[in-house]
A and B are shown apart, each in its own frame.
Chain A
């Protein structure tokens, strides 16, 4: 292919037919192509970013107290995000350039029914119902949830059992055959619908998760906690500001546990 045969027309009377061979050198072209490929390979982005959709309430003050949706103390789980600090200071500690998240959580009201504040504004340590946890993946061997995920799952047991039943039904073809692509899509849609119905079911006991965060906590931990909501099929959660009681409890907890 790189050789071109040239025929000089084979004119008569000019003696023997001449055959000339011209060879085209492809090496520079291949070199150039390789360079261009390298350039394009390095400049392209193949991986596309993912997104996480969140919806927040409006900033407007609710005029009517009746319009406010109140979470009952029984269902409320408050999660407070924080970052690991350097020993003896408020500065954020990093490991390999990554901020290490810490999670505090408590059920119900801050300080329980008695409240965290004693007479004269003193903090009652014995009422502090805050507990510490961390983000952990499922246990590799048993597949059991650990860390904050375990706690959320326990609170959302009712919904999760129903969802797991649906998953089994889906896997065994209960929503339609999984063999064709068309069938899989249909089954997925039916599954999604059934799952969303369960998440909204008023008869099941569901926790309301309130996510709060200290200013120093990292954006990464916020995304992690939103992930947990998705993993554990939590239907009601919101991002809120820290209250005074929250800060007092966190400080009290830190004073006692992180010297």
Chain B
């Protein structure tokens, strides 16, 4: 029995130290197989998650070793994006410190900016996390709650859509490590299902091209034995 408990404790330690938890994402996608063996970035990258229906969510992974914590980055991002949004919209948006704090804690995000305040207010409610997850995955009962960042075909850089606003805000980050990665293309990853139609992926790529983000990566899975 002693030997066995020794082994279990060792195994437990191993798994505890090596584990990185799966992040909950609003939709589940199976990435297409590819022969490419480049590994995905662990830190400092922005992930664009695409559902087969054409909805878009964003995730920002930050460099925890730099003096920019994830929370600080996210708050700065929200400030930046509302600044860009207010330039082109009559109906201005602003966020309270509580809402900004709530935003710094969310993983994937993706609701129209006009509903962002309402979305972030959920965090202080009871079972707020569950409600937020439901909203993001589109299982919400309230028909007014829209999930996904609004995106449309747009090649006019002067009138960005909300997706382009978010990407611009990310690019203007003051964390130079992330900004460099976004610039050289390894910091932007598009994650889409293998069955997602080209039309949808093309729209996202075109949106990025419009704001001069011409280099980015596609997330793939390693191809097993020749399929």
Contact = CB atoms under 8 A, between A and B. Distances in A.
Say what secondary structure dominates the interface of chain B: mixed
A171 interface: no
Contact of B36 (A41, A51, A220): A51
A213 B1 contact: no
A2 B1 CA distance: 9
Contact of A52 (B16, B20, B34): B34
A4 interface: no
Say what secondary structure dominates the interface of chain A: mixed
Contacts of A239: 205
Contacts of B64: none
A48 B18 CA distance: 13
Interface string A26-63: 11011001101100110111111111111111110000
A219 B197 contact: yes
B8 A34 contact: yes
B127 interface: no
B186 interface: yes
Contacts of A226: 34, 218
Contact of A58 (B193, B209, B216, B220): B209
A50 B37 contact: yes
Given A48-B40, A98-B195, A36 B217 contact: no
A141 to B, nearest CB: 13
Contacts, number: 168
A83 B199 CA distance: 12
A218 B198 contact: yes
A49 B220 contact: yes
Contact of B15 (A44, A53, A56): A44
Interface in A123-141: 137-138
A218 B197 contact: yes
A241 B55 CA distance: 22
B19 A53 contact: no
B189 interface: yes
A49 B218 contact: no
Contact of B38 (A36, A50, A58, A219): A50
B217 A51 contact: yes
B209 to A, nearest CB: 4
Contacts of B199: 215-216
B196 A51 contact: no
B40 A137 contact: no
Given A53-B186, A219-B196, A37 B11 contact: yes
B158 interface: no
Nearest to B17: A40
Contact of A45 (B9, B20, B194, B222): B20
B112 interface: no
Interface of A: 1-2, 26-27, 29-30, 33-34, 36-37, 40-41, 43-59, 81, 83, 92, 94, 97-99, 137-138, 213-224, 226-227, 230-231, 239
Task: Report the 7 A-B pairs with minimum CB-CB distance, sorted nearest first.
Answer: A220-B194, A215-B199, A40-B15, A33-B8, A220-B32, A137-B226, A44-B19
Interface of B: 1-2, 4-5, 8-9, 11-12, 15-16, 18-22, 31-41, 155, 185-186, 189, 191-202, 205-206, 209-210, 212, 214-223, 226-227
